[in-house]
Amino acid sequence: MFRVPRGTRDFLPEQAERFRSLENLAADLARRYGYGELRTPIFEYTELFERGVGESTDIVEKEMYTFTDRGERSLTLRPEGTAPVVRAFVEHKLYTGPMPAKYYYFGPMFRYEKPQAGRFRQLWQFGVELFGAPGPRADVEVIALGWHYFRELGVESRLVLNSIGCVQCRIGYKEALVSFLTGRDMCRDCCSRLERNPLRVLDCKNDGCRAALESAPVITDYLCPPCREHFDQVKAGLAGLNIPFTVDPLLVRGLDYYNRTTFEYKTDALGSQDALGGGGRYDGLVELLGGPGTPAVGLALGIDRIEMLNPPALDTGGGRRGVWLVTMEPAAAEAIALAHELRRKGVPVQYDLLARGVKAQFKQADRHRCRWALVIGPDELESGRAVLRDMESGDQQQLNLATVADELAALEGVK
RNA sequence: GUGGGUGUAGCUCAGCUGGCUAGAGCACCAGAUUGUGGCUCUGGGGGCCGGGGGUUCGAAUCCCCUCACUCACCCCA
């Protein structure tokens, strides 16, 4: 028997509906903030991610689905959404349009990881990217949009904020951090990180490393005056919108392109996979990918994990909906013709396709959780009056066949 | 990539230290009720016991390998 590939899954109608709702709510929110949808291919040239995401990141080092096509080109299933959006921004010279330029995306990403709770090889992200606004208000808008999404869904999340400064700040900080940590007791990974990318040590969950970091210098003490000012204004802007947050100087994100603001939305309800989303500012990426120097800030939210939290906004109540048409010979053909007329007028109608008896058809109406059973048999055609049964209460009434479509459309629980 | 747990019907599981045609509940289909669902009763369809190999007169059960799922580490959404 075939199964879905490891780390991927099928979405059966009930869950697919939940994902559709999450997408619709995200798209609606993005539009309210003035973001337009930008769809990019599922795969890109591998080099885009190598350069855009960063050679030394986990994503590029070990998580990419990379393959060679028949033209000997190296392609990669997109592991994240920002690099492709930036590529499109540059390729279509969108920087020539009105600034700032604001885009959102929603779709699957691919990472070759060992699956576990809340971690998949094909995962869905909703993200936004804002180009051309260097000031802190842009950071605040993006962070607020993500916060707003959680609020509308009714999902609890904690906002964690940090600033990793600019290249200049980090030179000084890295020196301080390396000299502080050198010679201390850390895990093997961190010892190598110390040389290659010392900021990653901050992200280590190892107890020994955490202990070593207790009194380590923090990046926020090394921000240059402009970066400090920017960070202060981001915090003030969030406070002004009554968005609560905590500052975590250890928050370092796994992609190389960030500068200044970084943030994550976390949950306590998913075990060890606590990140629901995150983002930050990436002022150098557009230029790195061949465009004009353009400041930018963005975020990405993990839809799979959010869905796992059972957002209250997705509760549909589980009520009955729609109409089941009960047919019987020799009047079935005529009844079915009427059903199609009802469908053309927007009424959702199902009917028996297996030549089952009346009793079984009512049972089907029940099992499919239809709100109404509409009986049209020989007697009804003769009298011109259809029998309508409320499958919730059991009450029955008669409807005039000539006006049945309008009457049904007006009923509760039809759609 | 490293480590732990689990694989028996569509689902949840039982099956003792190897021993009759492998079971239950739920679900599905039908009948009891030849134009009325939910409750009840009766009946029915469904299993290469994850796969392969081994031990044995005999394996769902014991051993080895493998695959899958799952949880955790790393890291992230």
Residue A214 has a pLDDT of: 74
Which nucleotide's C1' atom has the smallest distance to the CA of A207?
B73
Beta-sheet pairing, A323-327 with A372-376: parallel
Percent of chain A whose pLDDT exceeds 90: 58
Using a CB cutoff of 8 Å and minimum separation of 24, what contacts does A3-12 make? A5/A121, A6/A115, A6/A121, A7/A113, A7/A114, A7/A115, A7/A119, A7/A120, A7/A121, A7/A122, A8/A120, A8/A121, A8/A122, A9/A120, A9/A122
Asked if A179 and A241 sit in the same domain, the reply is: no
State the Cα–Cα distance between residues A373 and A396, nearest whole angstrom.
Answer: 9
The answer as to whether A257 is a domain residue is yes
Residue A1 lies in a domain: no
DSSP letter for each residue of A311-336: -GGG--TT---SEEEEE-TTSHHHHH
State residue A356's pLDDT score. Answer: 86
Residue A7 in domain: no
The answer to whether position A355 is within a domain reads yes
Whether A368 CB is under 7 Å from strand B:
no
Q: Are residues A364 and A278 in the same domain?
A: no
In-domain check, residue A395: yes
ipTM of the complex: 0.80
Q: Is the same domain home to A153 and A97? A: yes
A273 and A152, same structural domain?
Answer: yes
Based on the domain organization, do A73 and A27 belong to the same domain?
A: yes
- A195/B73 CA-to-C1' distance in Å: 23
Say yes or no: A294 and A376 in one domain. no
Residue–nucleotide distance: A1 CA to B58 C1' (Å): 30
Within this chain, do residues A308 and A244 fall inside the same structural domain, yes or no?
Answer: yes
**A57 and A83 co-located in one domain:** yes
Residues A153 and A175 in one domain: no
- As a rounded value in angstroms, the CA-to-C1' distance for A75 and B19 is 59
Scanning residues 54 through 73 of protein chain A, those with a beta carbon under 7 Å from any atom of strand B turn out to be 57-58
Strand B contact at CB of residue A301, distance < 7 A: yes
Residue that finishes a domain, picked among A260, A289, A314: A314
A189 touches strand B (CB under 7 A): yes
CATH number (domain holding residue A387)? 3.40.50.800
**Same domain as A363, residue A344:** yes
pLDDT of the residue at A205: 66
The reported pLDDT for the residue numbered A107 is 96
Domain count, chain A: 3
Written as tens digits, the pLDDT of chain A (415 aa) is 677 888 888 888 888 889 999 999 999 999 999 999 999 999 999 999 999 988 878 888 888 999 899 999 999 999 999 999 999 999 999 999 999 999 999 999 999 988 888 889 999 999 999 999 999 999 999 999 999 999 999 999 999 999 999 888 888 888 888 888 777 766 666 666 677 677 777 776 666 677 777 778 888 888 999 999 999 999 999 999 999 999 998 887 777 788 999 999 998 877 777 899 999 999 999 999 999 999 999 999 999 999 988 899 988 766 788 999 999 988 899 999 999 989 998 889 999 888 888 988 998 898 888 999 999 999 999 999 999 999 988 899 999 998 888 888 888 777 7
Indicate if CB(A107) is under 7 A from strand B.
Answer: no
Residue A93 is assigned to a structural domain of this protein: yes
In CATH, what number is assigned to the domain containing residue A27? 3.30.930.10
- Closest residue by Cα to the C1' atom of nucleotide B50? A1
End-to-end Cα, chain A, rounded Å: 37
| A38 CB closer than 7 A to any strand B atom | no
Q: What is the pLDDT of residue A84?
A: 97
A310 and A334 inside one domain: no
Q: Which nucleotides of B are covered by protein (CB under 7 A)?
A: 1-3, 28-31, 33-38, 68-77
Distance (Å, rounded) from C-alpha A301 to C-alpha A81? 11
- Cα A388 to Cα A222: distance, rounded to the nearest angstrom: 74
What residue numbers bound the domain in which A333 lies? 323-410
- Taking the stretch 372-401 of protein chain A, residues with Cβ within 7 Å of any atom in nucleic acid chain B are 373, 375, 377-380, 387, 389-394, 396
Tokens of A347: 């009424």
Same domain for A231 and A160? yes
